[in-house]
Amino acid sequence: MKTAGKLAAGWLLTLGFMFITLSITAEIEKHNMIKPLPPSIDGNEHEFLNKEVLYVLDITAKQGIIFGFPTLLLGGWLALGLYRQSKNEKIAIDKQVRENLQSLFYQMVQENKGKISLLGFAMQSQLAPTKAKEYLDVKAKELNANFKVSQEGAVLYYFDI
C-alpha cells in the first residue's frame, strides 16, 4: 500500500508541475506575441495579431492553473501524509526496541543476581559491543551500579537488587 501511495503522490506532483509549466509557457508566449514589433524597413508599423492563437494560449494558461494547483496540492498532501506515517512508524519501532532492551536488561539483572557482563549483555541483546557498553553505562549511572574489570579484561556491572 505504501508503494501505491508513493507512486500516486509522485504522479500527482509530476502532473501538477507539468500543468503549471504549461500554463507559464502559454503566458510567456502570449506576452511575446503582444510585444510590439520594431518598425519595418519602409517605416510603417504593422500589427500582426493572431487572435485565434491568443485565445488558445489564454485558455491553455487558465486550464493549466485550474488543473495544476489542485493536482499539486493533492500530491503534496499525499506525500506529507506518507512522510508523517513513516515518521510515526519509526517512532513506534524505536519505542518497541527500547522497551524490549529494557525488559531484557531487567531479566538479566534478575537472573544473574545483579551481575551483568558486557559481552553477555551484547550477546543477549544482539547489540554492537560499543552500543551495549553505552547502554550499560547509562543504566549504571541511573541505578548507581558498580563495575569491575576482571583479570581477563571483561567488564562486569554490579546492580543492587
1 lies in the same domain as 75:
yes
79 lies in the same domain as 148:
no
Edge-to-edge order in the sheet of strand 146-149: 115-117, 155-158, 146-149
In a domain, 157, yes or no: yes
Per-residue model confidence as pLDDT tens digits over 101-115: 999 989 988 998 888
In a domain, 104, yes or no: no
Q: What are the DSSP calls for 46-76, one per residue? A: -----HHHHHHHHHHHHHHHHHHHHHHHHHH
Per-residue model confidence as pLDDT tens digits over 16-37: 999 999 999 999 998 888 776 6
For residue 38, give the C-alpha cell. 520594431
pLDDT mean across residues, the chain: 88
**Residue 44 is part of which domain span?**
1-97
